[in-house]
Amino acid sequence: MAGHHHHEHSGTRLVDAARDALVVAGEQWTEMRADVFAVLAGQGRPASAYDVAEAVSAARGRRVAANSVYRILDLFVRTHLARRVESSNAYIANSHPGCRHDCIFLICDSCGKTVHIDDDALTGALIGAARKAGFADVRPVVELRGHCADCS
């Protein structure tokens, strides 16, 4: 599979990498943004903005509005700290924050596990086909659904 290579971050190194990438993008790493990212990074599967808002509310001991979380998640997607899983309107932390590329998501219909893979040849071909058809600024959204190894 043609792809590019990343250092996959996890735990506190993932949070540190996300903070650094957001600052490099010219944004501030606020306490609320840190809380939202920590919840998102701690999920084992994509989470909706409502799930994230509920978890942040519980951690903070006061209600956090989902629309505030949506704005932060949109910022995270724009700055490549998170990816949006379109088919489920959910978000997943990018394990290599700040890296701009197109992901291919593999989504388990049984347990919800979501794995992303990189294949620059495939996404490049999709972009090339879109350009050939007269489209510009395209962003491939590729999601494959099936059953993970644990569920099949």
133, 92 contact by CB (below 8 A):
no
> Architecture of domain 11-93 in CATH?
Orthogonal Bundle (1.10)
User: Could you tell me the pTM of the whole model?
Assistant: 0.81
Per domain, the residue ranges of the chain are 11-93, 104-146
Q: How far apart are CA 115 and CA 108, in angstroms?
A: 9
What CATH number does the domain located at 104-146 have? 3.30.1490.190
Helices 31-42/66-78 angle, 10° precision: 80
Nearest to 31 by CA among 49, 19, 46: 19
138, 132 contact by CB (below 8 A):
no
Task: Spell out the per-residue pLDDT of the chain, length 152, in tens.
Answer: 444 455 565 567 889 999 999 999 999 999 999 999 999 999 878 999 999 999 999 999 999 999 999 999 999 999 989 999 988 899 999 887 767 767 788 999 998 888 888 888 898 899 999 999 999 988 888 999 999 999 98
